[in-house]
A and B are shown apart, each in its own frame.
Chain A
Amino acid sequence: MLRIAIYGKGGIGKSTTTSNLSTALAEQGLRVMQIGCDPKADSTRTLTNGQSIPTVLDLLRRGGSLTLEELVYTNSSGVLCVEAGGPTPGIGCAGRGIITAFEQLQDLNAYKIYKPDVVLYDVLGDVVCGGFAMPLRGEYSDIVFVVTSGEMMSMYAAANIVKAVESFKKRGYARFGGYILNRRNVENERAQVERLAEEEGGKIIADLPRSSEVQQAEALGKTVVEAFPESKMAEHYRSLAHKVLEVCKNG
């Protein structure tokens, strides 16, 4: 089982990228589980026809016993979708929410029962409390990728995540796999991110253009790979999938 965490600033395109990556990996015949770790709980939205699925915390809040079938939604491409969920805005603790959701999946033996080939955690990366670092731990992930554009705030968040991964090395955490550049078409975008990579270490493993097909697919409640399988953008996501597997394999 290959366990991958995708981090990045809110709104940068983590969920879009992760969902397309999941679909592209599923096309290759892999069994993929995508776990949204963001209190917004919209990670798998384009995998579930735009519908929201009940989150782990929603189901725990309801009380009583809880089954895996309630937590895990299998979509039309065979991707297993899970949303951790979060507290009511303004109260509670979103980080502890993530931890609790993770513990619940573990308790229910989700990984042993579904036996996914790839687990993708889609994690909000600009919240820096302990709960959001949970997917970085060796118990959960093997490798971390960071989604960033050339915008300052996005690169700032990316640098923080890379630093965290670096400083947790002694603790047997996941290793850093590289940057996924998701373009916002700012000036000198590639060069900006290349400089980030130089300063913080790591490589740019993919360069995704900004594309209107992303929004069109989103409006259909679908991923680009599913809605426009012949498009250039779908090809970009497919080569991202290949690249990710390659980086994971080559230690």
Chain B
Amino acid sequence: MGRLSIYLPPFTGDYSGVCSALFDFNCLIVLCDASCCTKNYINYDEPRWSRNKTTTLCAQLRTMEVALGDDSRIINQTIEAAQALKPDFIALLGSPVPAIIGMDMKGMAREVEERTGIPALGFDTTGFVNYHRGVSSALVELFRRFSDPHTPKIPRSVNLLGLTPLDLGAVGNADALRAVVEDAGFSVVCNFLMDSDLEDLCQSPGASVNLVITSSGLALAREMEEALGIPYVIGMPIGTKQTQAVIDLLEESMKKGISQIPSANNQEGNEGLLILGDQIIANSIRNALQAMGCTRPVVVSSFFELEPALSAPADIRLEKEADLIRALQSGSFSTVLGDPLLHRIPQMASLELIPLPHPVISGRLHWDEVPLFTGEDMQKLLHRAINPPHQGKEK
């Protein structure tokens, strides 16, 4: 069956990743597609329309424009829209057709900027790669464009990197994460990128340390370390002990000026737990469980990025649904922690499924059920996952 998915829906693409990262800004987004990609993003990938600030327009590419490579109409209409809407900046995004014909999104953005005087960014999104690439490139581009490298250092301050509703839903995780970090005596400079504005972005180089909470924040963390010497810590604060561990790493990283990456271990044994999701979130869940005394083997797997440097030896990079089915059939696992739609896979029937909705898989079907990662529900989920299904569950 090659790469065909029989049970799971298609996952969110890179253009939706960029759109969602730009959502909180007063920004004009023009997605250069025929219409389907825009519709995907608007209907299936964005949970926050009730408090919309961005305007997302569809360029409505037509055959002749594609055949002739004529992008002048898109440029002119973008300029018209920008003059009417007066956004703080403009973003032009590609989709499969522009990717094939080599439409130059960055070049078009340069032309729009020159003619309107409004900053414009071009994104070579293709729809061929997953959301994470989109979020990641949006974070990096916005940082390059709008941050002020001469911002004075703000003592005990943190940027949170990799916040995206595509991993975290729109249930309040951004506020909750901010609260955890502030309770530990840090100030948050910029949330990359939920609930922050251009002013926060501009000040972000002033942070003493970065906290990377999903894989989508990793590229920016590395860039800020290289360009500005800001160290980073990797980890989502989940559960009491792991949260303390993350805070300790922040303190240490700030003190020594060196990045801190928690180690990742699978333990030996039977009745394993398979966690499916964003690598950094899944790693953090594993660390939380191990900090709570979990002794069953915990394996992280992902359809998205799985950085070898952050993986434990038995972790599994999934190229396709069949890889997941193979893992489920291996006999190594008795529990799977992941998106509720996994129950559609017949091989799940004999396994316990602990649901943790991942919006890039199940979208609007379950995005309201994403838990607060720092809260009670997550704690309950950890208690459920710590032991195999037929053993007495911890309270």
Contact = CB atoms under 8 A, between A and B. Distances in A.
Interface of A: 93, 95-96, 98-99, 129-134, 137-139, 168, 170-173
B114 A99 contact: no
8 contacts: A131-B101, A133-B104, A134-B102, A137-B104, A139-B106, A168-B107, A171-B110, A172-B107
B134 to A, nearest CB: 14
Given A132-B102, A133-B102, A171-B110, 7 more contacts: A129-B101, A129-B102, A130-B101, A130-B103, A133-B104, A139-B106, A170-B110
A191 B102 CA distance: 36
Interface string B223-247: 0000000000000000000000000
B100 A96 contact: yes
Interface string B65-107: 0000100000000000000000000000000000111111011
Contacts of A93: 100
B111 interface: yes
Contacts of A99: 99, 102
A7 to B, nearest CB: 15
Chain A interface, DSSP helix/strand/loop, else mixed: helix
Contacts of A95: 100-102
Contacts of B312: none
Contact of B102 (A96, A168, A170): A96
B108 interface: yes
Contacts of B111: 170-171
Contacts of B99: 96, 99
Contacts of A130: 69, 101-104
A170 B103 CA distance: 15
Contacts of B114: 170
Contacts of B101: 95, 129-131
Nearest to A169: B111
A137 B107 contact: yes
B103 A173 contact: no
A171 B100 contact: no
Contacts of A172: 107, 110
Contact of B106 (A129, A131, A137): A137
A98 B101 CA distance: 11
A131 B102 contact: yes
A193 to B, nearest CB: 28
Nearest to B129: A103
A95 B97 CA distance: 12
Nearest 8 A/B pairs, CB to CB: A130-B102, A171-B107, A131-B102, A130-B101, A170-B111, A171-B110, A172-B110, A96-B100
A171 B69 contact: no
A221 B366 CA distance: 62
A183 B186 CA distance: 70
Contacts of A171: 104, 106-108, 110-111
B69 A129 contact: yes
Contacts of B106: 137, 139, 171
Contacts of A96: 99-100, 102
A139 B111 CA distance: 15
A134 B101 CA distance: 10
A201 B336 CA distance: 67
B390 to A, nearest CB: 39
A49 B150 CA distance: 52
A139 B69 CA distance: 20
A133 B102 CA distance: 8
A208 to B, nearest CB: 31
